[in-house]
């Protein structure tokens, strides 16, 4: 019985605490909140520049121009040797093979340049490209009615709109041979019996 009384007392205390918190919350919500800006004190406001902290290490005394050797070494390269880039002035090869580009649609608006909807083979949706724009390393040079011409690295390729091939006509099967007559069937079986 004492255990029951202790539970009732704990529940009453929790309900009382919840009630007090609800009353306090209600008073805070209904009260006005002062959000007016705080005015600076009357008189002249003097802003003093903060003094520069003294150098903590010997590197703090150096100018950035003196640290070019450090900046030039890649952080995530295990040898910390600069990466040798062999970029030539030659035209870069396209990012993708031309066969992986698909022409999905063509649009020739009156108020703008002709556009082509081109889709890369692995992408679920295509992208509208204006004539003269680049897509995956290929430049759209000409938009025709049912095809476009793309160019990259001196190579030119024409992409055609996908047109399903016509259904192939299957030659009709020859009519079945008539069943052999009774004389032909007995003659053929007699010939088969005579041969060793």
For residue range 28-45, what is the model confidence (pLDDT) as tens digits?
888 887 777 777 667 666
Closest to 101 (Cα-Cα) out of 137, 64, 49: 137
The count of domains in the chain is 1
pTM: 0.37
In a domain, 150, yes or no: yes
Distance CA 105, CA 144 (A): 11
In the sheet where 115-120 sits, what is the strand order? 101-107, 115-120, 127-130
Distance CA 91, CA 152 (A): 8
In a domain, 128, yes or no: yes
Integer-rounded Cα Rg, in Å, for the chain is 44
pLDDT of 123 above 60: yes
In a domain, 194, yes or no: no
Provide mean pLDDT across the span 5-21.
94
Q: What is the CATH number of the domain that holds 119?
A: 2.30.30
**Nearby residues of 55 by Cβ (< 8 Å), 6 or more positions away:** 61
**What is the separation of C-alpha 95 from the centre of its chain, rounded to a whole number of angstroms?**
16
- The domain of 143 spans 98-160
In a domain, 12, yes or no: no
Contact 128, 115 (CB under 8 A): yes
Q: What is the pLDDT of residues 54-79, one digit of tens each?
A: 777 877 777 777 777 777 777 777 78
């Amino acid at each position: 019985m004492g255990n029951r009384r202790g539970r009732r007392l704990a529940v009453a205390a929790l309900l009382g605490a919840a009630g007090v918190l609800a009353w306090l919350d209600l008073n805070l919500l209904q009260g006005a909140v002062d959000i007016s800006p705080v005015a600076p004190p009357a008189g002249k406001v003097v802003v003093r520049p903060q003094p520069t902290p003294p150098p903590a290490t010997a590197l703090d005394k150096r100018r950035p121009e003196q640290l070019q050797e450090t900046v030039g070494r890649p952080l995530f390269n295990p040898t910390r040797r600069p990466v040798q880039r062999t970029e030539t002035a030659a035209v870069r090869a396209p990012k993708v093979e031309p066969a992986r580009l698909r022409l999905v649609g063509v649009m020739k608006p009156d108020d703008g340049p002709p556009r082509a909807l081109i889709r890369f083979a692995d992408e679920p949706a295509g992208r509208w490209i204006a004539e003269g724009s680049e897509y995956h390393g290929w430049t759209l040079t000409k938009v025709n009615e049912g095809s476009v011409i793309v160019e990259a690295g001196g190579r030119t390729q024409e992409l055609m709109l996908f047109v399903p091939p016509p259904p192939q006509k299957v030659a009709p099967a020859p009519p079945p041979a008539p069943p052999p007559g009774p004389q032909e069937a007995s003659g053929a079986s007699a010939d088969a019996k005579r041969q060793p």
